[in-house]
Amino acid sequence: MKLTLAVGTKNWSSWSLRGWLPVKLSGLPFEERYVRLRHDETEEEVRKVSPSGLVPLLTVEDGDRHFQIWDSLAIAEFMAEIAPAAHLWPEGRVARARARSVAAEMHSGFAALRQQFSMEFARHMPGHTPTPGTAKAIARIIEIWDSCLAESGGPFLFGKHFGNADAFYAPVVSRFHSYDVRLTGAAKDYADAVWHHPLMREWLKASADEVDKGLV
């Protein structure tokens, strides 16, 4: 099976990070196709790789079958199916239902936070006071983290494996880091564990390179 993942500019593209993490965590080999976002040719370049006009997009070539998966949550689900040993969803039906709920809540919500604190993975952006909508989103995210961590014992939301639920909150960890959102207790330990995960370091290095090259 040949996998090709199209991702956007890493400093900015939180959805690309959410798709990239499950693919990397699967341990399966894949090719990465990079699309530069927010410049004159972006629309045309994204359309060449993705009919939806959005990234991430995973192309799968499996014998005669050749298909595309064009949404981060669908990519996360697919990777969990083809790489069960990666534990992308937790063992146990109840934990799995909770993990899917928290990933889906991120996928469909928190617009105020996403809008005000847009991802700047490699940048520090101090001095922004959260709007009421952003503050509400932050409080809800901390509530989600605290309850999952209390149940699982951490260090990740559903225990010892960095999984799909963590992948969905990884861009939030970066935003909290960039915009100086102060955390305490279990939420802080969790955010530190995510931020220092080797795959987050890899994404940070690529994002910092984009900053250095003036691409963002």
Q: Which residues bind ligand GSH (CB under 6 A)?
A: 8, 13-16, 37, 42-43, 46, 54-56, 71-73, 107
Minimum Å gap between C-beta 198 and ligand GSH is 22
CB 22, min distance to ligand GSH, A: 12
d(CA 9, CA 211): 10
- Minimum Å gap between C-beta 68 and ligand GSH is 12
Nearer to ligand GSH (CB atom), residue 17 or residue 187? 17
Residue whose CB is less far from ligand GSH, 40 or 64: 40
From CA 12, how far away is CA 138, in angstroms rounded? 19
Residue placing its CB nearer to ligand GSH in the complex, 173 or 187: 173
Closest contact distance (angstroms) between CB of 155 and ligand GSH is: 25
130: tokens are 């959260």
Interatomic CA distance for residues 53 and 6, integer angstroms = 11
Identify the sign of the CA torsion 25, 145, 186, 125: positive
Q: Which is nearer to ligand GSH, 77 or 209 (CB)?
A: 77
| Among 166, 52, 7, 41, residue whose Cα is nearest residue 102 | 166
Question: Distance of alpha carbon 168 from its chain centroid, rounded?
Answer: 4
